[in-house]
Amino acid sequence: MRKLMFAAASVAMMALVGPAAAQSPIVIKFSHVVAPNTPKGLAAEKFKELAEKYTAGKVKVEVYPNSQLYKDKEELEALQLGAVQMLAPSNSKFGPIGVREFEVFDLPYILSDLPTLRKVTDGPLGTKLLRLLDAKGMTGLAYWDNGFKIMSANKKLVTPADYKGLKFRIQSSKVLDAQFRALGAIPQVMAFSEVYQALQTGVVDGQENTPSNMYTQKMHEVQKFTTVTNHGYLGYVVIVNKKFWDDLPAERRAELDKAMKEATAFGNGLSAKENEDALAEMQKSGKTELVKLTPEQDAAMRKAMEPVYGDVANRVGKPLIEEFLKETKATN
């Protein structure tokens, strides 16, 4: 009898633990710092939906938005340690882990529009840059768009002289540091999750970001003026912990690759509209005054930021800057 009870218990346990364990899904924790209703937030949700569909539930993607798990710098460390598996930090955030090359995307006015950006990201240079991440224990999977950045402060920013002496929050990029120094401003590196409060309390005077990021963090509510400069690009590199990725069964990796490709097309297809809508909403709110620059004012801003290319050539690499410029001018 005892033997039978033992056997029955074993069968019951097998039924519970055995198949359940065999079926337990692979979990991808995808951490990011922005709101769900942004280009990155929406692309991450699309990736989750497609990844779970193509793997028939064998992979589960948990998306953690709004710095819920980690702030900017911490999330990269968490990925390297394997505490999360996937992230999409902006190009401006790889310097602190020793990859400076992505800062080339931060150069002021280096990209005139999204089709030009695609020439770089979809071409050999884009692939070459992704490969730099291998040595850091990361695999670069895709480039996701946000869009072009605008400036804001409680002061009307029209000419380069208007920036003088003001403190601006920047992401951790030396190119962005040089950009604000070229304007005579004082850059201050700060995590994205802290920007709203820093603007509200006057720890910094202004900031640069895309309309979608500004709007979803309500930054426009604490900045009297927003100038539509479109002076720089903000986009993302989707990265995954390399060991986690390499250890996946080839079949799963192929399914996830397909999901990533489609989520990328989806997100990059809606980013421009998301930013246009956010800008319109900011204007409609009446909380910030939108300032548009005349062609002459725009030219003056471009001229003031020109020295940045020379200032950062040693850091980012002159050949890389030249290659980037060549790719953007290529007709294909």
- Chain positions contacting ligand LMR, by CB under 6 A: 33-34, 40, 90, 146, 171, 192, 209, 213
**Residue 167: is it exposed, middle or buried by C-beta count within 10 angstroms (0-12/13-18/19+)?**
middle
Asked if 87 and 47 count as a contact pair (C-beta separation under 8 A), the reply is: no
The three-class DSSP label of residue 28 is strand
Determine what percent of the chain falls in helix, strand and coil, rounding each to the nearest 5. Answer: 55, 20, 25
Which residue, 171 or 230, has its beta carbon nearer to ligand LMR? 171
Contacts of 174 (CB under 8 A, 6+ apart): 95, 100, 103, 312, 315
Least Å distance between CB 144 and ligand LMR? 10
Least Å distance between CB 8 and ligand LMR? 54
Which residue, 89 or 160, has its beta carbon nearer to ligand LMR? 89
CA 152 to chain centre: 20
Least Å distance between CB 290 and ligand LMR? 19
CA distance 166 to 28: 41
CA distance 263 to 48: 9
Least Å distance between CB 209 and ligand LMR? 5
Which residue, 94 or 225, has its beta carbon nearer to ligand LMR? 94
Which residue, 237 or 308, has its beta carbon nearer to ligand LMR? 237
Which residue, 55 or 217, has its beta carbon nearer to ligand LMR? 217
Least Å distance between CB 283 and ligand LMR? 21
Which residue, 52 or 106, has its beta carbon nearer to ligand LMR? 106
Least Å distance between CB 215 and ligand LMR? 12
Burial 289-317 (b: 16+ CB within 10 A, else e): ebbebeeebbebbeebbeebbebbeebbb
CA distance 152 to 255: 42
* Torsional sign, CA 128, 133, 135, 139: negative
CA distance 138 to 245: 9
Least Å distance between CB 212 and ligand LMR? 8
Residue type, 118: R
Which residue, 52 or 231, has its beta carbon nearer to ligand LMR? 231
